[in-house]
Amino acid sequence: MSDAIGAAGSWLAEADPDAIHAERWLRSAKILLLPLGRRWSAVKAAQHDGLAAAAGVSGPVIHDPADRCVYFLVPTATEWDRPGTELLGDGCWLAVPAPWVVEPPGPHWISAPDGSGTLVAPAALRLALGPRLGAEYLV
């Protein structure tokens, strides 16, 4: 496993109250259910819109083909009100793949975390989703 993938796995595991357990689980199961609102939140978009928008942002993005959704990991302080999307935070959980899982089946990264803590910038996500949701949602 490369140093970058190891750093990304450790960064993901820090979102779990038991980071050591989470790191072990990521290595063996390749997917982990993590609480949102602790280290990051997620903006959930429909698959069609999310896949198109993912090309216009930097930062961690998960595609879950079974649920036909795309999840953009954003800062916990993100304020979000875009129709057709949903901000998931405290009280929500997300199935998060190990950093090396970059193709189906199952949840996989469109853009895996690099371990640095970089998240998707909400302003960039608004711009990327704007054309998908209608121009009136750009601001």
Q: For the chain, what is the HEC assignment?
A: CCHHHHHHHHHHHCCCCCHHHHHHHHHHHCEEEEECCCCCEEEEEEHHHHHHHHCCCCCCEEEECCCCEEEEEECCCCCCCCCCEEEECCCCEEEEECCCCCCCCCCEEEECCCCCCCCCCHHHHHHHHHHHHCHHHCC
User: How confident is the model over 1-30, as pLDDT tens digits?
Assistant: 568 778 898 899 889 988 888 888 878 888
User: How confident is the model over 109-129, as pLDDT tens digits?
Assistant: 999 999 999 999 999 999 999
Whether residue 139 lies inside any domain: the answer is no
Range of the domain at 20: 3-133
Overall number of domains in the chain: 1
Q: What is the pTM of this model?
A: 0.91
Whether residue 88 lies inside any domain: the answer is yes
pLDDT at 139: 44
